[in-house]
Amino acid sequence: MKIISLSHFSDRASAILAGLFAGAAVAFATPSIAEITPWAINEGGRMRIVALPPEPDGIVRGVLQIEPKSGWITYWKEPGEAGIPPQMVLSETDGVKLNHISFPVPKRINNGKLRDIGYDQSVALPFELKADAPHKPLTIAASAFVGLCRNICIPFQAEFSLALAPTKGTPVEEAMILNAAASKLPEAPSNDFAVTQYVMTRDRLSLKLKLPAGTTEPQVIVTGPQGHVLFESVNGRRDEDSYQLDMPIGKLPKGYDIKGKRWGILVIAGSRAMETSLAFE
């Protein structure tokens, strides 16, 4: 099993871990022989893994369910000005690799002087695995690591074991959980909701968006280098179905070259959210 190290996290997350949580609580889930693992619990909440049997092409779909207790929060893939992004690592010996993890639409959470991005209610993070031998039973060891925060943040690590095997039917309960999680993901760009233009200058990112009819000023979150998030916008103006705004870049890492990089962008407009990437040639 790979060991999760602080090098996987941003500098600020490392500082939080090192400075506040030297005695971090680690919870271990009892190994499961089903697709729904037992809950792993700590003082800030609980989490578990739900997974479907492998598909004929070796794809295994699942979710990491995180339930913060009332008054606690957990984090998006880029936590904002403080916090710990969720991580999931698989054993290298299981013949299974993690293709990707997806994140439902988060919210901006003001925590005193800090601005976090995350969830203050139950959230399920869909993931996709790829098995080398999908026609054989699989035993997968997975390690999940999240942050749960209220007045302080508690790193929460849990070890899970999944026993999966091909089946002719789809388990109903697990499928319902996965479908509900997928319904909360941001949508892809479309004809009525997209980034139509973007220009990077020395100190700001200028964006032109196409927004759904009837929506007002959008909320825009741009993620650049690890730990660098653009929250603030200026010069917002709407012209029919288009919306233009500028986002101050702030201080990028020393020596950072944006050429060839991709930044993420999430746009929330009314009841809809769209996520895509910005490629800088």
Residues in the chain: 281
User: What pTM, to 2 d.p., does this model score?
Assistant: 0.85
Which carries the bigger pLDDT value, residue 165 or residue 43? 43
User: SS3 of 172, please?
Assistant: helix
Range with the poorest average pLDDT among 135-144, 155-164, 183-192 = 135-144
Q: Where do the DSSP E strands lie in the chain?
A: 40-42, 45-51, 59-68, 74-80, 87-90, 96-101, 107-111, 114-119, 123-131, 138-149, 153-164, 194-200, 204-210, 219-223, 229-230, 234-239, 242-248, 262-269, 272-279
Give the model's pLDDT for residue 151: 81
Taking 60 as the threshold, does the pLDDT of residue 201 lie above it?
yes
User: Which SS3 state, helix, strand or coil, does residue 20 take?
Assistant: helix
Q: Which residues partner with 164 through β-bridges?
A: 138
Predicted pLDDT of residue 103 = 98
Name all domains of the chain by residue range, CATH numbers in brackets: 6-182 (2.60.40.1250), 194-279 (2.60.40.2320)
Is the distance from CB of 147 to CB of 84 less than 8 angstroms?
yes
Helical H segments across 78-226, by residue range: 172-182
Number of C-beta neighbours around residue 81 at 10 A: 14
pLDDT in tens, 209-247: 999 998 889 999 999 998 899 989 999 999 888 999 999
Is residue 4 classed as helix, strand or coil in its secondary structure?
Answer: coil
What whole-number distance in Å separates Cα of residue 106 and Cα of residue 210?
21
Q: 13 in helix, strand or coil?
A: helix
pLDDT exceeds 80 at position 172: yes
pLDDT for residue 178: 95
pLDDT mean across residues, the chain: 86
Give me 137's structure tokens: 């039973």
Q: Is residue 139 left, alpha or beta, with left meaning phi > 0 and alpha meaning psi from -120 to 50?
A: beta
* DSSP conformation class of 150: S
- Lowest mean per-residue pLDDT among 64-78, 94-108, 114-128, 167-181: 167-181
Question: Band of the pLDDT at 60, cuts 50, 70, 90?
Answer: very high
Smallest Cα–Cα separation from 48: which of 185, 173, 170?
173
Task: State how far the Cα of 243 lies from the Cα of 249, in Å rounded to an integer.
Answer: 19
Q: How many Å apart are CA 184 and CA 124, to the nearest integer?
A: 9
Q: What is the pLDDT of residues 12-23, one digit of tens each?
A: 444 433 333 333
Token pair 């054993």 is found at 91
